[in-house]
Amino acid sequence: MSLTDPFVGLVPRKMTDSELARAIRLNVAAEVDAINLYAAHMDATDNESARRILAHIIDEEKEHLAEFLELLKILDPTQALDIEKAGPKVRAIVDAPTAEAAHAAHEAIEAGESADADEEPVPTKPPGLGKAPTVGSLRQR
Ligand SMILES: [Fe+2]
């Protein structure tokens, strides 16, 4: 059973970037679902041909997942900043010697973000593209 509703192609209007970001988040979920499903199929068989094909497809789905995340960063600059800041947070937690130190490190980074947030304005236009993509512009011709 799918975790997502299928996208209906015939729509009365084009989506806004905010609506498209929601749709892309569903695509992210679908890619994650596919990766886990194919990995489970690999685990369930000793057929080497099937395992090789599934491994190849899993690699492709991981690439799709990364591409959708990059598109989401273009469509949602606030989420792009969250993604950018997640790396330092995760590294601080992983590198901390204890759970308490990890919590403190995370809190310190959060406190630092609050100060930075006052200084760095959130971009209002998506970076990377001259014009934000629409459903129509992403369709293959
Ligand atoms: Fe995919």
Domain residue ranges in the chain: 17-138
Distance 57 CA to ligand 1 centre (A): 8
Q: What would the two tokens of residue 56 be?
A: 């190849």
Distance 61 CA to ligand 1 centre (A): 4
pLDDT band at 5; cut points 50, 70, 90: low
Its pTM surpasses 0.85: no
89-110 mean pLDDT: 90
Structure-derived torsion over alpha carbons of residues 20, 25, 26, 30, reported in degrees to the nearest 10 = 130
Higher pLDDT, 122 or 2: 2
What is each CA distance from 120 to 16, 62, 123, 139, in whole angstroms?
A: 25, 32, 9, 35
pLDDT at 50: 98
pLDDT above 90 (res 40): yes
Distance 26 CA to ligand 1 centre (A): 12
Distance 70 CA to ligand 1 centre (A): 14
What backbone phi and psi angles, to 5 degrees, belong to 126? -60, 135
Mean pLDDT score of the chain, rounded to an integer?
Answer: 82
Neighbours of ion ligand 1 (CB under 5 A): 61, 64
